[in-house]
């Protein structure tokens, strides 16, 4: 499935937005994709917004959202169904039939927040695990016993995706980016969004490396901050673990539980992201960038960069230079 498969081919996503959807829910889908495009310097994600009748929809914030047109079930792009409040007002028999029909053409169907109810109404979640907003969990489980309602932030089950709210939707989009473009880009996009629970870390303790990551253990957050403070001369795992008062094995386990990646993967992603910013924003040589981000040589840096970003550092500079030249040419 193109939504979840490693690829740098541009991915088109269609959003069906129902009236009275939260503005933040729409942004939770679009903004991580926009961030991925900006950071990568390429249009790897494209999206279109549709409404049941093609008219702009009024959000709960009273900010109307324009649409590309009326919803067409027969397109092939993955479909995300977004709904928040009073979704039943829009869930006409005709719309439910359209959503059901779309499943024959779409490679993936996603119910975003109350969009899960629409998929269930169209019998598209039968015998599938589905995430539901905590306020609606009991009602949903009672209404659709054929659906395996679970108390997770989001669920990917075959060709069906469901989310339990706005911030869980950000988590989902980061997971999609991780699966398609790798951990480094997903990490960098996550740093654009600070949504750490207030009782986990104080504002003073938040750093760019921990912003957007839900650190379940303060020792993991401390280790991540040490990583970011030691980009030029990376700490070996044993020393990093000692600095936070843990064994290397214990720290590895905590990382996996907290952020879903081992320490060395996270550390390499931090260093490569720092390197990419230098590739894009400075004229430093690749040898200088390699030294500044903890690589033994320019060739070792280039190999790691290509493995993570699917292009060489020089390729990144050529591509962005070509875009700048094209933008500067008179029309």
Beta-strand pair 57-58/64-65: antiparallel
Encode the chain (331 residues) as per-residue pLDDT tens digits: 678 888 889 999 999 999 999 999 999 999 999 999 999 888 999 999 999 999 999 999 999 999 999 999 999 999 999 999 999 999 999 999 999 999 999 989 999 999 999 999 999 999 999 999 988 999 999 999 999 999 999 999 999 999 999 999 999 999 999 999 999 999 999 888 754 433 443 333 434 344 345 556 789 989 999 999 999 999 999 999 999 999 999 999 999 888 888 999 999 999 999 999 999 889 999 999 999 999 999 999 999 999 999 899 999 999 888 766 655 555 5
Q: Which of 252, 277, 273, 166 is nearest to 209 (CA)?
A: 273
Hunting for tokens 């869930």 — which residue is that?
A: 91
Contact at 8 Å (CB) between 210 and 204? no
* DSSP for residue 105: T
Residues, the chain, total? 331
**Alpha-carbon distance 276 to 126, whole Å?**
44
pTM of the model: 0.82
Buried b (16+ CB within 10 A) or exposed e, 82-103: bbbeebeebbeeebbebbbebb
Q: Residue 63 has which token pair?
A: 């900010």
* DSSP for residue 7: -
Q: What are the Cα distances from residue 94, in Å, to 67, 73, 115, 314? A: 19, 11, 16, 53
Paired residues of 112 in beta bridges: 82
**Alpha-carbon distance 104 to 40, whole Å?**
33
| H helix or E strand, kind and range, residue 50 | strand 45-51
Angle at 327 between CA 323 and CA 330, to 5 degrees: 140
Residues 21, 178, 36, 234: is their CA dihedral positive or negative?
A: positive
């Amino acid at each position: 499935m193109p939504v979840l498969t490693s690829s740098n081919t541009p991915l088109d996503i269609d959003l069906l937005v129902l009236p009275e959807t939260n503005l933040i829910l729409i942004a939770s889908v679009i903004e991580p994709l926009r961030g991925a495009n900006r950071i990568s310097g390429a249009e790897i994600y494209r999206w279109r917004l549709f409404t049941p009748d093609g008219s702009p929809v009024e959000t709960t914030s009273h900010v109307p959202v324009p649409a590309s047109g009326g919803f067409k079930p027969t397109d092939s792009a993955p479909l995300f169904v977004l709904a928040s409040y009073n979704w039943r007002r829009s869930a006409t028999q005709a719309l439910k039939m359209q959503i059901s029909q779309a499943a024959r053409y779409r490679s993936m169907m996603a119910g975003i927040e109350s969009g899960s109810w629409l998929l269930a109404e169209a019998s598209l979640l039968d015998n599938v695990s589905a995430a539901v907003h905590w306020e609606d969990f009991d009602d949903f489980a009672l209404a659709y016993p054929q659906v395996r309602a679970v108390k997770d932030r989001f669920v990917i089950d075959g060709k069906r995706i469901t989310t339990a709210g706005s911030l869980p939707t950000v988590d989902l989009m980061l997971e999609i980016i991780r699966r398609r473009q790798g951990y480094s880009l997903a990490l960098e996009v996550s740093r654009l969004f600070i949504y750490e629970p207030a009782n986990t870390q104080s504002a003073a303790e938040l750093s760019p490396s921990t912003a957007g990551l839900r650190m379940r253990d303060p020792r993991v957050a401390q280790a991540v901050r040490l990583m970011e403070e030691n980009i030029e001369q990376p700490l070996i795992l044993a020393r990093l673990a000692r600095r936070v008062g843990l064994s290397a094995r214990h720290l590895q386990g905590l990382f996996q539980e907290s952020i879903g990646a081992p320490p060395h993967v996270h550390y390499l992603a931090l260093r490569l992201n720092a390197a990419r910013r230098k590739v894009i924003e400075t004229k430093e040589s690749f040898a200088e960038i390699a030294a500044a981000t903890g690589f033994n040589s320019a060739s070792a840096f280039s190999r790691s960069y290509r493995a993570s970003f699917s292009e060489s550092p020089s390729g990144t500079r050529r591509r962005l230079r070509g875009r700048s030249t094209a933008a500067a040419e008179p029309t």
